[in-house]
């Protein structure tokens, strides 16, 4: 029970899982390691968190591995820093590092790292009595491979190791440990863009398909990873050599079953296999829809706007994003800002937060 309480507390910090509408509780679809659902880069963060179908860069490995052979530069590295719950805490953040290398014109390899620092969290029992202060830390490490099937279509796969350290040691007679899991992403990318970049692109991604994760020795008491299905399309209009604009739309669905509302249903939920959970997820209504635009001037100045809406079962966040990027030769600096919306219950933890990202590419 204590492990479940801690996971719930951390999930509140990481995912905003408690919402209400007209004083009625909503059954939110929750998962373990929710840091994997945080948009990991400043460029997509300025476009409503839509990144599956837009043009590839170093951070595309987080959204759609299949894009990497279509990147204009053979090698690139990106890093992003994202404060979390900045309005109430100074030591919570997500940091990411990603890079890829094209082996030839048909295939590429990549690696990426996400590190989430949840700050200091007070652990309490059901009566509200403080037990101890814990310092949750989580990270994931990926290795990816992607290949063109033709000049227009590519496929990608990424393998992921996940480590989640919420609390360790004995609490109320129960011994807790760091949770570990493995997962994979599968993705596809299509581009109908011409040589000048004008035209349609599309992508699809299945993410975090893997084992459950547990924090005790009890194999029957594990939690689902945030498996998801994402589909995106984008269109780029090139007006002239100096001006172009991209429009993108993306839909995402959590592929995990609903958490039961009663304790009597919990054993059946816990005993579900991962594959059964994917198929049972189609009645959880955990959906999000993102819209984004990016205006590019002389391939040096980038201005971005976006909007994202999540269903009640996904957390009930609706927010507007804005961002900018500046390119200096082979280096690029990106910023994004999330306009705060909603009340204190369902307000996005990234409200009033500026994300900062860097991308460095190597010329051909």
User: Is 360 a residue whose pLDDT tops 90?
Assistant: yes
218-244 confidence digits (pLDDT tens): 877 889 999 999 999 999 999 998 999
Is residue 309 within 8 A of residue 321, CB to CB? The reply is: no
User: What are the respective helix, strand and coil percentages of the chain, to the nearest 5?
Assistant: 15, 50, 35
Question: Tokens at residue 283, please?
Answer: 């009645």
- Which runs of E-coded beta strand occur in 84-152? 93-102, 107-117, 121-124, 130-134, 137-148
Of the chain, the percentage scoring pLDDT greater than 90 comes to 56
| CA proximity to 181, closest of 31, 8, 6 | 31
Determine the average pLDDT of the residues in 134-139: 86
How far apart, in whole angstroms, are the C-alpha atoms of residue 147 and residue 69? 6
- State the pLDDT at residue 175: 77
User: Is 13 a residue whose pLDDT tops 90?
Assistant: no
Question: Domain limits of the chain?
Answer: 35-362
How far apart, in whole angstroms, are the C-alpha atoms of residue 325 and residue 304? 8
303-351 confidence digits (pLDDT tens): 999 999 988 777 788 889 999 999 988 899 999 998 877 655 566 677 7
Q: How confident is the model at residue 46 (pLDDT cuts 50, 70, 90)?
A: very high
- Alpha-carbon 149 to chain mean position: 27
User: Is 213 a residue whose pLDDT tops 60?
Assistant: yes
How far apart, in whole angstroms, are the C-alpha atoms of residue 73 and residue 105? 11
Write the CB contacts of 265 (distance below 8 Å, at least 6 apart in sequence): none
More confident residue, 166 or 11: 166
87-133 confidence digits (pLDDT tens): 666 678 999 999 999 999 999 999 999 999 987 776 666 666 666 67
Q: What CATH topology corresponds to 35-362? A: Porin (2.40.160)
Residue whose token pair is 């999000």: 288
155-212 confidence digits (pLDDT tens): 999 999 999 988 777 666 677 788 999 999 999 999 998 878 899 999 999 999 999 9
More confident residue, 122 or 276: 276
């Amino acid at each position: 029970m204590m492990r479940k309480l801690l996971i719930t507390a951390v999930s509140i910090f990481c995912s905003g899982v408690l919402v209400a509408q007209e004083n009625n509780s909503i059954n939110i679809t929750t998962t373990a390691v929710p840091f994997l659902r945080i948009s990991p880069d400043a460029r997509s963060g300025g476009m409503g968190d839509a990144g599956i179908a837009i043009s590839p860069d170093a951070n595309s490995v987080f959204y759609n591995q299949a894009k990497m052979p279509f990147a204009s530069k053979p090698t690139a590295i990106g890093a992003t820093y994202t404060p979390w719950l900045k309005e109430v805490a100074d030591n919570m953040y997500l940091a990411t590092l990603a890079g890829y290398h094209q082996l030839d014109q048909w295939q590429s390899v990549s690696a990426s790292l996400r590190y989430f620092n949840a700050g200091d969290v007070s652990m309490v029992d059901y009566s509200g009595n403080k037990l101890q202060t814990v310092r949750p830390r989580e990270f994931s490490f990926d290795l990816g491979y992607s290949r063109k099937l033709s000049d227009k279509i590519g496929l990608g796969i990424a393998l992921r190791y996940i480590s989640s350290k919420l609390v360790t040691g004995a609490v109320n007679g129960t011994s807790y440990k760091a949770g570990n899991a493995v997962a994979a992403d599968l993705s596809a990318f299509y581009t109908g863009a011409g040589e000048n970049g004008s035209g349609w692109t599309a992508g699809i991604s299945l993410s975090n398909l893997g084992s459950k994760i547990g924090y005790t020795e009890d194999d029957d008491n594990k939690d689902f990873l945030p498996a998801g299905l994402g589909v995106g399309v984008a269109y780029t209009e090139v007006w002239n050599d100096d001006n172009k604009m991209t429009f993108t739309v993306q839909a995402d669905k959590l592929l995990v079953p609903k958490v039961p509302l009663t304790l009597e249903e919990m054993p059946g939920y816990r005993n579900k296999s991962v594959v059964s959970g994917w198929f049972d997820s189609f009645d959880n209504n955990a959906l999000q829809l993102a819209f984004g635009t990016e205006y590019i001037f002389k391939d040096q100045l980038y201005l971005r706007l976006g909007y994202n809406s999540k269903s009640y079962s996904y957390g009930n966040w609706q927010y507007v994003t804005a961002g900018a990027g500046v390119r200096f030769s082979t280096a690029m600096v990106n910023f994004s800002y999330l306009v705060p919306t909603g009340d204190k219950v369902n307000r996005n933890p990234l409200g009033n937060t500026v994300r900062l990202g860097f991308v460095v590419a190597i010329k051909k």
